[in-house]
Structure 1
Amino acid sequence: MKRALLAAALALWASVAVAQDVQPLAGATFSLNQARSVARAALHAGDFELARQIAMGLLKADPEDPFAYAVLAAAHSRLNDPKLARAAARLSYRYSDSGAEKFGAARTAASVAAAQDRPSQSQAWLRIAATHADTPQQDKLVAREYARARAANPLRFDINFSIAPSDNVNSGTDNVLEVINGVPTLGFFRGSSRALSGTVAVFDARLRYRLRSNQASRTDATARFYTRRVDLSGEAKAIAPDVSNSDFGSTYTELGLQHRFKLGAPGNAMGVGAALGASWVGGERSYDFAKANIRRDIRLTGRSRLSLTGVAERRLSTITSLLDASVVTLGANFGHKLTGGDRFNIGLTVQNVTGDNINADYQTASLQARYTFGKPVGPVQITTGLTVGYTDYNVYTLVRPVEGGRQDQSIYGDISLFFADYDVAGFAPTLQLRTGQRSSNVNRFEISETTITFGIQSKF
């Protein structure tokens, strides 16, 4: 009864313009700060109509009061008026002055969006909140809330963009004269086959939409769009005046379905999927493809995991059926997290490519190792990697068959730096240095390259 009388009194008070710092109520004196406290208490008590009325009274005193709009956003959200709730949330952020106020207003807007089952909008507001986070605790808070919004969202985008100056954008050779099995021939390499310097830009977008899920499994529709563009340097254009930037561009698109389900002991799972897509090289459509994949994840210990993968792909050339190919890829990856937080992965990938074109019939294997330091060095998180590869063409033909076929060996090392402390909206810069070389008994395919890649990566 007392609560009802107090609510009625507060509602009556709230309906009067709050033009002064202090207002009388039933013989008592209420400051604006006290009114804000009552509004906050009303929200916590679940009396959303009372909170709304008090917020409206506060706005009569100050039409640009960010706290009042935040109360209205929360109240209207619970009173099933989503349009007004979203408008109030935007105004709360707009009229906030300090970074701390904007941080709180953006989080409130994210909470309103989450309550209205708008996870994408909630994620956007949390990105905005991240721009106003001043402490590691606030960063962690935003990351946790973003993880919840992402888990609730059936739609997920992963976008990577990078720019990489390189001394070999076309995987060209450093050699001038052709040598096969150590024996020079009369051939020499055109400019387009030589190593050309320039800048490579890559845009890679992956989309996943959850069609169905429960505690034991989930099914997703997937899509990917990848494009690579090259800008040749002036030196490269002088070496190869007959080529253009578009000759070294490529694009790849894919649409598919993935199904993942728990299998075996806790932490173990199986995934199967299929996809259709197409590839363009040099501005022209190169081939269409269909592929199926399978993945098995096994939790060995609390810190160790093993992943086994298999992909079968059929490529149909858009140029000639002689370039059709079948590709089978098998992979295994072991990952382990050390006590101090460092992580290392080691993986083996083998691939068999078969087709009517002799020069596109080969087997390849590569061993990859990566080590990620758990603790940053200053402002930098460091990951190092090493890749060793071998490719064998049983039969290879240039002007005439190459005796013994063709064999390539490669070794590449890289170091990646992630500057997590220099983020904007949760996106931070990355820098990767990659260098290596490939040797071959056919020296057209002997290359060396060094690439510095500048990119952007999400912190959460």
Structure 2
Amino acid sequence: MLEQFRFWVFCCAAMLIGFSGPVTAQATSAATQAEAEAALVGGNPARTVILANQLLEDNPDSFAALFLLALAQSDLDLPREAAASAGRAYRVASSEETRLQTARLAATAHFRAKQYARSEFWFRRAANHIATEDDAEAIVRGFQRAREANPITTQYTASIAPSDNINDGSDAARLCFENLDGTCFIELDLREDQLALSGLEYNGSARIQYELSKTPRQTTTIGGLIFGQGVVFSDETETLLSESESEIVRDLRPSDFAAFLAQFSLEQQQADFSPLGPTRIAYNYGRYWRGGDLLVDYHDLILGQIVPFEGGRSFALESSVRQQRAQAPGLIDSTIYNLSGSYQWRFDNRDVTTLTLASKYNDASEESTFVEYRLRSDYALGRQIFQTRWSTFAEIGYRSFDEFSSTLDGRRDRFASAGVTAVFEEVSYFGFSPSMSLFASRTDSDVSFIDSSKASLSFGIASNF
């Protein structure tokens, strides 16, 4: 690919230089530029470097000279110098076409210099000037090669969402302690902060992974994740809390609902450990804060197996155990066991669908121990509709407690959620596009104050690569 790109820019040098604007009227400069172009085409890049530098002495912002210099340095196998010259040429380029090609040249030069993060940056910058589908495919291919070669991988998310339930509060207004026949023998009003509150949710996350070692047989990585979430009260919520009879509720602020998570991970993927396919072993350590107080820390041990099939199909089985330790009064320790299986289809039209069945067993105190089952379906369209990329999901689940504090026969929850996401790829900056997601969820329980519902419309950003 690199050789093809070098040949392409080599052949198009004269055309791109022509796009840069009028050259100097002085005959000597015109002759020097023509000689530099001829030397480059004739296979004498060292001569081109000398002549391009002569042009830059007279005009340091000459696009023609900078672009010729970058091409010649690339041909001389001086990728760092070529990247620097291409970057300078990009800053003085006068058309979208020249900006695209100089950014591509800088990205490719950084790749050859094994500066993969800078290469990814310049491919994203080149994406700002894409004009054709062929340009887009070339940029995506180059970016993916740089990402695969880069031992450091980063991912970022950010979104903001108006919601009618920012605190996952109850739809019911009262807490009922049941008799054997299901009637209430005591009813208590729920505090206002335990009800569904409306407002604005915002969150962001950053994930980084570093490859400690990589061979055809295995890959070992360490990584870190931070996630933060905050809320803004609606006027309705502000009024509801301020008029509460409880001083604790009146003193509540949006920061009391803020959450933060930090996690460290160590992971190994082994290609030949199992005859079925790649095997994944991972360890996580994390801590979770809410309202500025540390609530829990946890340790995860994860084992996964991927089984590939012909036709773009695959099956993934994953099991994990989490030891969660309470760090705040009123909370209890727990051990959480998870098991999930996912089957994925990739169709000829590039659509992808995934079906996942998962179970969870939370082993804690008698009233907090439960078992849970989930069935989820995801579908992502491989083609654009009106220059927009669409994906959707739907999930149903069941949760059961043998014992619960307000009942004599345990608790049973049924829940469902669904969502759709649109990424508006016709608007793009550095390879990122705005996204919009509609989400809705509902929980129905035989314990009325557990009933809850939520609807939100979130706006965020998504990578096109």
Tell me whether 1:40 sits opposite 2:29 in the alignment.
no
Give 1:174-193 correspondences, 5 Å limit.
Answer: 174-179=171-176, 183-184=183-184, 185-193=186-194
Alpha-carbon offset, residue 19 of structure 1: 6.9
**Candidates 362, 368, 372, aligned match of 2:380:** 372
* 2:399 match: 391
Contact 1:166–1:450 under 8 Å retained in 2: yes
Alpha-carbon offset, residue 302 of structure 1: 2.0
SS at match of 2:394: strand
Tell me whether 1:247 sits opposite 2:224 in the alignment.
no
Tell me whether 1:258 sits opposite 2:258 in the alignment.
no
Alpha-carbon offset, residue 165 of structure 1: 0.8
Hey, what's the Cα distance between the residues in 1 that align with 2:150 and 2:189? 57
**Candidates 429, 443, 447, aligned match of 1:442:** 447
Tell me whether 1:331 sits opposite 2:333 in the alignment.
no
Q: Per-residue displacement from partner, 1:389-427 (whole Å, max 9, x unpaired)?
A: 1111111114xxx11111111011111111122111110
- Provide closer, same or farther for how the CA distance between residues 315 and 374 of structure 1 changes in structure 2, counting only shifts above 3 A: same
Tell me whether 1:168 sits opposite 2:165 in the alignment.
yes
Size of the aligned set, in residue pairs, is 431
* 2:201 match: 200
Hey, what's the Cα distance between the residues in 1 that align with 2:41 and 2:276? 43
* 1:432 match: 437
Alpha-carbon offset, residue 338 of structure 1: 2.5
The two structures have a TM-score, normalised by structure 1, of 0.87
Contact 2:208–2:225 under 8 Å retained in 1: yes
* 1:58 match: 55
* 1:12 match: none
Give 1:36-115 correspondences, 5 Å limit.
Answer: 36-41=36-41, 45=43, 47-60=44-57, 62-76=59-73, 84-115=81-112
Alpha-carbon offset, residue 39 of structure 1: 4.2
* 2:310 match: 301
Contact 1:19–1:61 under 8 Å retained in 2: no
Partner AA of 2:204 in structure 1 = F
Contact 2:32–2:51 under 8 Å retained in 1: no
* 1:136 match: 133
Alpha-carbon offset, residue 194 of structure 1: 0.7
Partner AA of 1:90 in structure 2 = G
Alpha-carbon offset, residue 328 of structure 1: 1.0
Hey, what's the Cα distance between the residues in 2 that align with 1:131 and 1:267? 42
Alpha-carbon offset, residue 268 of structure 1: 2.3
SS at match of 2:426: helix
* 1:117 match: 114
Q: Give the unaligned 5+ runs of structure 1.
A: 1-17, 25-29
* 1:215 match: 216
**Candidates 332, 348, 351, aligned match of 1:342:** 351
SS at match of 2:260: strand
Hey, what's the Cα distance between the residues in 1 that align with 2:104 and 2:276? 33
Identity of aligned residues (%): 23
Q: Per-residue displacement from partner, 1:152-171 (whole Å, max 9, x unpaired)?
A: 11001011111111000111
Alpha-carbon offset, residue 190 of structure 1: 1.2
Alpha-carbon offset, residue 75 of structure 1: 4.0
Hey, what's the Cα distance between the residues in 2 that align with 1:86 and 1:159? 26
Measured on the aligned residues, the alpha-carbon RMSD in Å equals 2.4
Alpha-carbon offset, residue 121 of structure 1: 0.8
Alpha-carbon offset, residue 195 of structure 1: 0.5
Partner AA of 1:358 in structure 2 = E
The two structures have a TM-score, normalised by structure 2, of 0.87
